[in-house]
Amino acid sequence: MSDYPYTDRFIVNRALPASGRPRADVLAEMNAMATEEDAFWETGRCSGTMYCGDHEHYAFMNEAFGRFAHVNALQRDMCPSQTKFEGEIIAMTLDLFHADAVTDATPVGIVTTGGTGSILHAVLAYREHAGQTRGVVHPNLVKPETAHPAFDKACHLFGVEVRNAPVDPESLTVDVGWVAGAIDENTIAIVGSACNYGYGTIDPIGELGQVALSRGIGLHVDGCLGGFLLPFGEELGYDIEPFDFRVPGVTSISADTHKYGYAFKGTSVLSFRDIALRNAQYFFLTGWSGGKYCSPGMEGSRSGGLIAATWAAMVSIGHDGYLGYARAIFETSAAMQDAVRSHPELRILGKPTFLFSFTSDEFDIYHVNDSMRQRGWRFNGQQYPNALHMAVTRPQTQPGVAESFATDLAEAVDYAKKHAADAPASGAIYGGVAGGMTDEADDFIRSVMAGMMDAQSSLPEGA
């Protein structure tokens, strides 16, 4: 992929144009890019990323978004609709997670800007609550190594020590005994995933809940990926243990509406068992000359359009709609997992759900990836061990996609066996598969991230 996309086709703006361009021209340029980029994931050959894939649904949400795109959700006196939308998003999510099982507290929630936002707010809430109620000044958080890196980011930002618990090499779920042994008087919370990003495995939330209760600390369940899908899988009869507020000890849950909630990117819900925990993370400044300042989360201004579109998505799909989509996703994932298991050279890792990961003990699995890429597939890569994962979404449930996966995988296994002695071209990086990543890749990662932001502003002369 070029570091300077579209430079040979469209105008490069190094500064504001002296005169504005006609809107029709601007939209035509954007339409060309969008149409070409959509064509890839529309095939269903892309792991995760595009969770809905329904252009009619997107058009519906665009209309809902457009009616409130200019609205700042912070100004509730001017837009009380946002109170309705946000309150009902939270209420529907709490209902999905059986908040009615909580009888000794008041369950609440907040709408955030995504999974990382929900995790950041959760860690902040636990830090502040522990400081306010227990006097903790040197906080630590105990989490599985497989938990999302957003926990590490949150701890980095908020001055919280991270204690990474190992996972069982067979089940790929957290070692609960290790977690219990790592807790001390400064532990603000422990974490479990339902399910984790890497392997699609669900940590033993019930056991973690008992540990949390016995030690008087919180348990955050990261359901950012599976939160809006696993409950329907459980309803369909799949072997999914409860991970929500039915489990004693669970004190908060993150779940992304912009994944299997089928809303636009930029929304997630963080649910709390007790209002006191949520309220601990609020920031107030009552003595400012500009007036008394407060906001419900780290963000100030927020898009009213995103909140409106999320509400519209949830109420338009409804319980039966989500259940039907879940049925198709779980069935498709099962068919794709069967295709993997049909090859003795491949091994599925752990006990996956709708997302599965596989490796090989006979060759580097990235040879399979190299071959599948040539056939138009995009997987997410992993390391320790090298593995590929497939997060099944609605685009994969299209007719023929699972069958194509099976056919192409068979050819990819043959390719891998023939090239087992060679070095593969690809390696693991979150968000996609890229070339040759190692432990010493920090500088390379920094340059990649900088390139994403700076590519157009640092174009070589003549570009």
Instruction: Specify the pTM.
Output: 0.92
pLDDT at 190: 98
| Rounded Cα–Cα distance for residues 423 and 283 (Å) | 52
Look at residues 162, 207, 153, 196 and name the one whose alpha carbon lies nearest to residue 182: 162
pLDDT at 103 over 50: yes
pLDDT at 300: 87
Dump pLDDT digits (tens) for 150-187.
999 999 999 999 999 999 999 999 999 999 999 999 99
Give, in degrees to the nearest 5, the angle at Cα 34 between 28 and 39.
130
pLDDT at 435: 39
CA atoms within 13 A on the CB side of 80: 1
pLDDT at 294: 84
Q: 286-295, 389-398, 402-411 — which is least confidently predicted?
A: 286-295
pLDDT at 456 over 80: no
pLDDT at 444: 55
Dump pLDDT digits (tens) for 204-226.
999 999 999 999 999 999 999 99
pLDDT at 278: 96
User: Mapping DSSP to helix (H, G, I), strand (E, B) and coil, where does residue 414 land?
Assistant: helix
Order of all β-strands in the sheet with 108-112: 108-112, 268-272, 250-255, 218-222, 187-193, 140-144, 161-165
- Mean pLDDT calculated for residue range 17-23: 96
pLDDT at 327 over 80: yes
Per-residue pLDDT band for 447 (boundaries 50, 70, 90) equals low
Q: How far is CA 232 from the centre of its chain?
A: 18
Mean pLDDT score of the chain: 92
Residue 189 phi/psi, 5° resolution?
-175, 160
DSSP 260: T
Q: Would you say 146 and 196 are in contact if contact means Cβ atoms under 8 Å apart?
A: yes
Q: Would you say 240 and 230 are in contact if contact means Cβ atoms under 8 Å apart?
A: yes
pLDDT at 437 over 70: no
CA atoms within 13 A on the CB side of 450: 8
Higher pLDDT, 430 or 102: 102
User: Mapping DSSP to helix (H, G, I), strand (E, B) and coil, where does residue 104 land?
Assistant: coil
Tokens coding 173: 């779920």
Give the DSSP H/E element, type plus range, for residue 110: strand 108-112
pLDDT at 426: 82
The count of other CB atoms within 10 Å of the CB of residue 404 is: 17
- Sign (positive/negative) of CA torsion 169, 172, 177, 178? positive
Dump pLDDT digits (tens) for 246-280.
999 999 999 999 999 999 999 999 999 999 999 99
Amino acid residing at 80: P
The count of other CB atoms within 10 Å of the CB of residue 167 is: 23
DSSP 264-299: -SS-EEEEESSHHHHHHT-EEETT-TT--EEESSS-
pLDDT at 463: 46
* Residue labelled with tokens 């309803």: 235
Output the CA–CA distances (angstroms, integers) from residue 188 to 155, 251, 428, in the order listed.
11, 12, 32
Q: 14-23, 41-50, 264-273, 285-294 — which is least confidently predicted?
A: 285-294
Per-residue pLDDT band for 431 (boundaries 50, 70, 90) equals low
Amino acid residing at 217: I
pLDDT at 454: 61
pLDDT at 462 over 50: no
pLDDT at 34: 96
Q: Percent of the chain at pLDDT above 90?
A: 84
How many residues are present in the chain? 463
User: Mapping DSSP to helix (H, G, I), strand (E, B) and coil, where does residue 356 land?
Assistant: strand
Q: Percent of the chain at pLDDT above 70?
A: 91
Q: 71-80, 157-166, 425-434 — which is least confidently predicted?
A: 425-434
pLDDT at 77: 84
Dump pLDDT digits (tens) for 360-393.
999 999 999 999 999 999 998 999 999 999 999 9
Domains of the chain and any CATH numbers: 1-53+319-463 (3.90.1150.10), 72-302 (3.40.640.10)
